[in-house]
Chain A
Amino acid sequence: MPLDQQTGPDDAQLVARSLKQDHEAFGQLIDRHASVIVNLAYRMVGNRAEAEDLAQEAFLAAFKALSTFRADSKFSTWLYRIASNKCKDWLRAKRPGMGQQDVDIDEVLDIHVAEEQTPERLLSQQQVALELEQAIQRLPPLYREAFVLKHVEGMSYEEMEEILGVNSDTLKMRVYKGRLKLSRELAALNPTR
């Protein structure tokens, strides 16, 4: 999603007003960024209710720490970073086996794919989206995060670098591997592809 598609006062103006106890201004920031944050959280945790709770936590954390926000970066970037960290914290707490250290689990994934491989199963076009959703949830968190920001939210590597604090070469490798795993999973479910 383009970060700067908006009308009315820009984020910096709304942040300045929020710092002067203008809660209406922060409400506008919520309206503006809620969709992206909730969708990002949803792709990361795969559950709507949890996604909304995490998105709320992210906004509240941003609201409380607004005085520490440095105006030399974008508010959206700062907010996405907070949301991303909230999601990773949640994944670590709920799924201890899917932490950051588990980014390179090709072998495990390959076994997983092999188990679900059913040659007679053919995917319809409508099924592809559903299978892709589920396959994204099975990606290691760091691949999932990079893939979602790049291809679901449509961000550039430069924006991702700023949000995630990881250099773009590393992010590209995570996106490459995420794409590759997803394509293998989908291909495995539909041998004709």
Chain B
Amino acid sequence: MNEHELLVQRFLDQDLSPEERVAFLQAVDSDPILRRQWLNLEMVVAEAAQLPRMTPSARFFTELKAKITPPSLSWWERFYATVTAPQTLEWNLAGAVAAACVAIVAVAGLFSLKPERVVEVPVATVPAQTIAAGTTQQPTVFVRLVLLQPGAQSVSVAGDFNGWDPAQTKLERSDGGVWTATIPLKPGRYQYMFVIDRKQWIADPLAAEEATDGFGAQNAVLDVAI
């Protein structure tokens, strides 16, 4: 590329200083060969800027966008992708403190719901005969009380289960002076006494366990269990 050609090129790129441009135009005016070179180059530049532009086809856009769109997944594939995708937990100090407070309150709440103590009561063998019934909610046990008292005119029972009222639960006399009563009781531990002829209080002689009543006498103890 000679000096003139380089000058033309720089003129086309508007790379000349004002003085160089004047010198170039004077040279073009006086040199027909240089003028021809310049015009030919100008024509190339002008034609290049007007070359027809092709429009991308519809197929181009359709195919390309299909390639960047992930295939639709089934609900199971989406679920699997969600649970197996690595997650980044973003946190800050305020959020961490708030989360810690929530955790502390939750744990304290759980402790407040816990009973202070749980008492396990061993169940003794029931001396009386029992029959369980009504198991829908709290089961009821039918307890048969028996007392041999041939000379008595009446026998009743008083205890925890009837408010220590002998009038509420009377025993029935059978052959041989055997008095019996069948009473429904919830599972639990009860104290009771028989009342003979409305005046004599005695503990059940068949009771497996007795307990003091705090007044110097002994109550029979009945453990009712399923």
Contacts and interface: CB of A to CB of B under 8 A. Distances in A.
A27 B68 contact: yes
B61 A30 contact: yes
A3 interface: no
Given A129-B50, A147-B48, A180-B5, A34 B56 contact: yes
Interface in B46-66: 47-57, 59-61, 63-65
Contact of A56 (B15, B44, B63, B70): B63
B60 A180 contact: no
A193 B64 contact: no
A86 interface: no
Interface size range on A against B? 35 or more
Nearest to A172: B13
Contacts of A154: 49
A39 B49 CA distance: 13
Contact of B9 (A35, A129, A147, A179): A179
A99 to B, nearest CB: 23
B24 to A, nearest CB: 15
A159 to B, nearest CB: 14
B149 interface: no
Interface string B192-215: 000000000000000000000000
A38 B41 contact: no
Contacts of A193: 36, 39-40, 43
Nearest to A157: B13
B41 A180 contact: yes
A39 B53 contact: yes
A152 B39 CA distance: 18
B114 interface: no
A176 B2 CA distance: 12
Contacts of A187: 40
Contacts of A51: 54
B40 to A, nearest CB: 4
Interface in A135-154: 136, 147, 151-152, 154
A128 interface: yes
B12 interface: yes
Interface in A10-38: 23, 26-27, 30-31, 34-35, 38
Given A35-B55, A177-B1, A183-B37, A152 B60 contact: no
14 contacts: A23-B65, A23-B68, A31-B61, A35-B55, A39-B54, A56-B64, A63-B68, A147-B48, A175-B13, A176-B5, A176-B9, A180-B41, A183-B41, A186-B43
Given A26-B68, A172-B13, 9 more contacts: A42-B54, A51-B54, A52-B59, A56-B64, A59-B64, A132-B47, A183-B43, A186-B43, A193-B43
